[in-house]
Amino acid sequence: MDRRRFLLTGGGILTAACLPALAERSGAFQYSLLRLGDQWEERRRALVKLSFEVQKRCNIPIETTPTVINIGQIAKVNSPFFVISGGTAFKQPGQGDARAMRLVLNSGGILLFDDTSPDGDTAFYQAALTFMRKVYPELEGPFPLPRDHAVYQSYYLLKEPRGRLNKRDYLEGWTMGGRTRAFFSHNDLLGAMEADQLGSWRFNMEIGGGFRRELCFRLGINMTYYTLTLNYKKDRAFPPIIERRRRI
């Protein structure tokens, strides 16, 4: 290895080691993909694409690369928007990890379960239920979110949740104290956003095409806004305006 190659490689390694640390304290928003289950990284590029769309459309300073973490690292994450993606059952967290997840979700974090399995396969759903029962033993649910939930109007006005699949026309959520702590998407939301490095979509939509895919991005953006602004769009100034626009 010549000197130039050595310096380039060394510099690259050093930069790669420092970047996550810098990102952690930069204050920018960042999606965190949880390394859980066999299919955790099948929709990894979807979060990159979503981050890019957020950066393009929204006033949210964002890191365009999602971070990948293990369940034991959740308390150390600065931007606690966690995504668990998959279509099969996944390993349940231990008591300590469940307690850490509870603390993080209570202090503003949010968790998105995105089910990629075809209709009739409930292994991932059951695993998500067990997971949330460990995190919030006292909480019942999930329950379908009402149409006027802030997540459907936090940035774009949406009538119902979309995804690559068309299994359910609702999102489910675990809500406590007026704030939804976790969402469950049945329709492979990230599947609709998954694109390769050249920007070509990896999966075809089960129904519809470009506009339906766009609606999936809008839902992803709304979830991001909901995480950061909570029930802002339920403040007294907005419901009349939103209601009027929905009627049009």
Residues that bind another protein (CB under 8 A): 25-29, 53, 56-61, 75-80, 100, 103-104, 107-108, 153-157, 177-179, 209-211, 213-214, 217-218, 225, 227-233, 235-238, 241-242, 245, 248
CA distance 10 to 184: 42
Closer residue to another protein, CB minimum distance, 54 or 127? 54
- Minimum CB distance to another protein, residue 100 (Å): 8
CA distance 83 to 110: 9
Tokens of 235: 């403040």
- Minimum CB distance to another protein, residue 8 (Å): 26
- Minimum CB distance to another protein, residue 141 (Å): 20
Closer residue to another protein, CB minimum distance, 35 or 57? 57
Residue with tokens 């993909």: 33
- Minimum CB distance to another protein, residue 244 (Å): 9
Q: What is each CA distance from 164 to 102, 142, 146, 241, in whole angstroms?
A: 30, 21, 21, 31
- Minimum CB distance to another protein, residue 32 (Å): 12
Measure the CA angle with vertex 192, ends 61 and 90; round to 5°: 90
Q: What is each CA distance from 207 to 95, 182, 195, 203, 212, in whole angstroms?
A: 41, 26, 18, 12, 8
Closer residue to another protein, CB minimum distance, 132 or 193? 193
User: Residue 202: exposed, middle, or buried by beta-carbon count in 10 A (0-12, 13-18, 19+)?
Assistant: middle
Which neighbouring-strand residues pair with 208? Answer: none
Closer residue to another protein, CB minimum distance, 2 or 95? 95
Q: Are 193 and 46 in contact (CB under 8 A)?
A: yes
Per DSSP bridges, beta strands 179-185 and 110-115 are parallel
Closer residue to another protein, CB minimum distance, 1 or 198? 198
- Minimum CB distance to another protein, residue 43 (Å): 16
Closer residue to another protein, CB minimum distance, 127 or 158? 158
- Minimum CB distance to another protein, residue 1 (Å): 34
Closer residue to another protein, CB minimum distance, 48 or 58? 58
CA distance 201 to 87: 19
